[in-house]
Amino acid sequence: MATSAQPVSSTTSAVATGEAQPRLRRINWGMTGRIAGVVIVTFIALAPFYWTIITSIKDSLEVVASPPTLFPHSFTLESYISDFGGGSTFFTRDLINSFVVAVITTVLCVVLGSLCAYAIARMRFFGKSATLAIILAVTMFPIIVLVGPLFVVFTNLGIYNTYAALIIPDLVFTLPLTVWFLTSFFRDLPADLEEAALVDGDTRLGAFRHVIVPLAAPGVFTTAILAFIYTWNDFLFGLTMTSDPNGAQTVTVAITLFGGQFTIPWGQIAAAAVIVTIPLVIMVLLFQRRIVSGLTAGAVKG
């Protein structure tokens, strides 16, 4: 009996091995495709930034070498030193100008946008739907169409080449997005909390400040980050509404002025691009959780 059972055991083992081999060779093509897609998208997104970084740390000879070097053979901070020293006399001043314009615009967007969005979300008045439609239509308006009229208006008002000439246009195009985003966020907050505050004797503005603002912090914070990024990256208004480097010229415009008559300092331009990008990268990395929570807030109900 023992001898006759041996072949059965061997056959069973062989069958089990034969069934296991196809399972081991099976590939999860769905997961593989998703990973490959993430790798490709990440490479496309980071490749320009990588090239800008290595260009900024190469010496002047390697920058113009042909064929270009994918991995730098030299390392120098000369381009960064030139940006703040002799490469562009006004680069530091323009960097400060961009920061001032972005901060003021962001604060105004958050304050005015929050009040406007709260009124639209909670109060009933005639033309509410038309107001929201007009606000959304402003964001679709081509910016280049307004450059000429704004130039004439600001010149006649005497505010050309000042902070106001940059803050007003940026506020016009950033505020509608702020209102639209915060309106949908305020609508998802329960109205019972405000009613309880009103019953306790608080005013409508006090209920907004003491109850709604703390609850809406993720959405307000996300809106502020997006407004700051939009204003910081603005180039068109900075180019057309300023002409004097001693005025309110922004850093995005200053980068275009690095080129000389006979040569183009690619290293200094790349270093300036890295310097301008670093604040945004740090901001997103530090507050990425708040940004994600603000963007996804109110997406799921129940």
Taking residue 165's Cβ as centre, other Cβ atoms within 10 Å add up to: 24
Task: Inform me whether the pLDDT recorded for 294 exceeds 70.
Answer: no
Domain residue limits, the chain: 2-76, 87-296
CA distance 163 to 168: 9
The pLDDT of residue 87: 47
Whole-Å CA distances, 176 to 88, 116, 179, 267, 297: 36, 10, 5, 38, 19
Residues 87-296: name the CATH superfamily: MetI-like (1.10.3720.10)
| Chain mean pLDDT for the chain | 79
The pLDDT of residue 295: 60
CA distance 249 to 253: 7
Question: Do residues 230 and 143 touch, judged by C-beta distance below 8 A?
Answer: no
Residues 6+ apart with CB under 8 A from 233: 252, 280
Task: Inform me whether the pLDDT recorded for 9 exceeds 70.
Answer: no
Percent of the chain with pLDDT over 70: 84
The pLDDT of residue 302: 42
- Per residue in 158-168, pLDDT tens? 888 888 889 99
- Per residue in 10-57, pLDDT tens? 455 544 455 544 554 567 777 888 888 899 999 998 898 899 899 888
- Per residue in 229-240, pLDDT tens? 889 988 888 888
Length of the chain: 302
Question: Do residues 201 and 114 touch, judged by C-beta distance below 8 A?
Answer: no
Calculate mean pLDDT across residues 194-219. Answer: 77
Percent of the chain with pLDDT over 90: 6
Taking residue 233's Cβ as centre, other Cβ atoms within 10 Å add up to: 15
- Per residue in 63-117, pLDDT tens? 888 888 888 888 888 888 887 775 456 788 888 888 999 999 999 998 898 888 8
Calculate mean pLDDT across residues 128-148. Answer: 80
Whole-Å CA distances, 236 to 91, 101, 148, 169, 252: 18, 14, 12, 10, 9
